[in-house]
């Protein structure tokens, strides 16, 4: 009986709420300012499945809160949500062309490629998360056409690698009525793509370690650890854009703030010391890139 309820909740509750949440994100400027971050990716692969705005949960919460109000058990919501979002994640690929009979039942990679297209015929189509019948019922379905290849991205997108700016400049655009222009980047500070990739990977490992420790951290430790990760993200964005301030924040954060954090708080330091060594070596590698770029200039 519980399985029967869970299945019906998934089909008629969670997926329907997601459909309207997703459709509203495309219909109102303030919501699109949040959701546009996901659509700005120009390469349709699995990484796009996790490219979301910092504020996505805030704008989707009201659409799913109704499920709690009608008494859906938390365990059912978590289990069904996990399946739901894993399916959506898997949609972001170009390897699966057509999915046979599933094309008539579920949202497939082909259907979701259409959703990410900025072709006129594809804009604001296929909002469903798992099942395709919501789009067919509400008139937003569009199949992928072989003679009309999908062009990914968002019109007017200004390419940048600064994650903080990318998450917030759409709101500035709403206030100013025009999209802010990114200032030209001077090429006198060049950090290699390899070091940028290593920086992102190291920060991801640091985040995983933070999640592992979180239940054992007190409030000051939690705030401090989170701040270090956030400053690292901010610095990596700056380094990706060849900004001097990105280098300054990186050095201060991982050569001063992180060592002080490890020294200040009294908990197991072995792994954090290894983390510190990793970021110190990475900083040396970044400084080597800086030295090389300055010599060329």
Q: Say which residue, 290 or 124, is predicted with more confidence.
A: 124
Which distant-in-sequence residues (6+ apart) come within 8 Å of 87 by Cβ? 106, 107, 129, 130
Q: Please check whether residues 130 and 232 belong to one and the same domain.
A: no
Does residue 183 belong to any structural domain of this protein? Answer: no
Percent of the chain with pLDDT over 90: 21
Residues 115 and 201 in one domain: no
Tell me, yes or no, whether 93 and 202 share the same domain. no
Check residue 190 and give its pLDDT.
80
131 and 236 inside one domain: no
Q: How many domains does the chain have?
A: 2
The answer to whether residues 118 and 221 belong to one domain is: no
Same domain, 211 and 132: no
Between 109 and 242, the higher pLDDT residue: 109
What pLDDT, on the 0 to 100 scale, is given for residue 139? 93
149 within some domain: no
pLDDT higher than 60, residue 294: yes
Torsion angle in degrees (nearest 10) through CA of 60, 62, 222, 279: 10
The verdict on 197 and 101 lying in the same domain is no
Look over the chain and give the mean of its residue pLDDT values, rounded to a whole number: 83
Query: Does 223 lie in the same domain as 122?
Result: no
Q: Which tokens hold the place of 49? A: 């499945």
Q: Would 35 be classed as within a structural domain?
A: yes
**pLDDT tens readout for residues 133-158:** 999 999 999 999 988 989 888 887 77
Select from 72, 106, 137 the last residue of a domain: 137
15 is in which domain, residue-wise? 2-137
Task: Give whole-number Cα distances, 280 to 84, 188, 286, in Å.
Answer: 40, 23, 10
pLDDT digits (tens, 9 = 90+) for 216-268: 888 888 898 899 999 999 999 888 888 888 899 999 998 888 888 877 776 56
Of the listed ranges 103-117, 120-134, 152-166, the one predicted with least confidence:
152-166
- Distance, CA of 160 to CA of 70 (rounded, Å): 43
Q: Does some domain include residue 6?
A: yes
Claim to verify: residue 21 and residue 122 sit in the same structural domain: yes
Domain identity same for 33 and 112:
yes
46/220 Cα distance (integer angstroms) = 35
Q: Is residue 188 part of a domain?
A: no
Residue where one domain finishes, among candidates 108, 137, 166: 137
Q: Give me the pLDDT at residue 19, please.
A: 93
Domain presence at residue 152:
no
Alpha-carbon distances, residue 261 vs 53, 168, 265 (angstroms): 28, 29, 6
Clarify whether residues 14 and 123 are in a common domain.
yes
The predicted model scores a pTM of 0.77
d(CA 269, CA 25): 44
| Domain presence at residue 144 | no
Q: Give the domain-ending residue among 137, 156, 178.
A: 137
Give pLDDT tens digits for 18-33: 999 999 999 998 999 8
Give tens-digit pLDDT for 265-291. 765 666 777 877 888 888 998 988 888
Q: Has residue 153 been placed in a domain? A: no
**Per-residue pLDDT tens for 178-197?**
655 655 555 567 888 888 88
């Amino acid at each position: 009986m519980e399985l029967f309820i869970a299945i019906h909740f998934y089909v008629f509750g969670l997926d329907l709420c997601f459909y309207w949440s997703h459709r509203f994100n495309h219909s109102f400027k303030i919501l699109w300012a949040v959701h546009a971050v996901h659509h700005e990716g120009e390469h349709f692969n699995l990484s796009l499945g996790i490219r979301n705005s910092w504020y996505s949960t805030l704008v989707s919460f009201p659409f799913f809160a109704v499920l709690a109000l009608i008494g859906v058990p938390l365990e059912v919501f978590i289990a069904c949500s996990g399946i739901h979002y894993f399916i959506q994640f898997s949609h972001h690929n170009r390897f699966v062309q057509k999915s046979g009979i599933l094309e008539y039942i579920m949202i497939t990679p082909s259907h979701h490629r259409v959703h990410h297209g900025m072709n006129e015929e594809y804009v604001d189509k296929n909002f469903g998360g798992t099942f395709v019948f919501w789009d067919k019922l509400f008139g937003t379905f569009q199949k992928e056409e072989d003679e009309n290849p999908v062009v990914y991205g968002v019109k007017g997108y200004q390419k940048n690698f600064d994650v903080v700016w990318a998450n917030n400049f759409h709101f500035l655009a709403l206030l100013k009525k025009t999209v802010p222009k990114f200032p030209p980047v001077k090429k006198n500070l060049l950090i290699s793509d390899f070091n940028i990739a290593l920086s992102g990977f190291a920060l991801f490992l640091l985040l995983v370690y933070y999640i592992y420790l979180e239940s054992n951290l007190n409030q000051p430790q939690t705030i401090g650890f989170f701040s270090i990760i956030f400053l690292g993200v901010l610095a990596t964005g700056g380094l990706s854009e060849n900004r001097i301030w990105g280098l300054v924040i990186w050095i201060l954060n991982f050569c001063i703030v992180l060592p002080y954090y490890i020294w200040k708080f009294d908990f197991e330091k072995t792994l954090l010391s290894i983390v510190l060594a990793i970021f110190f070596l990475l900083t040396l590698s970044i400084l080597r890139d800086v030295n090389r770029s300055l010599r060329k200039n």
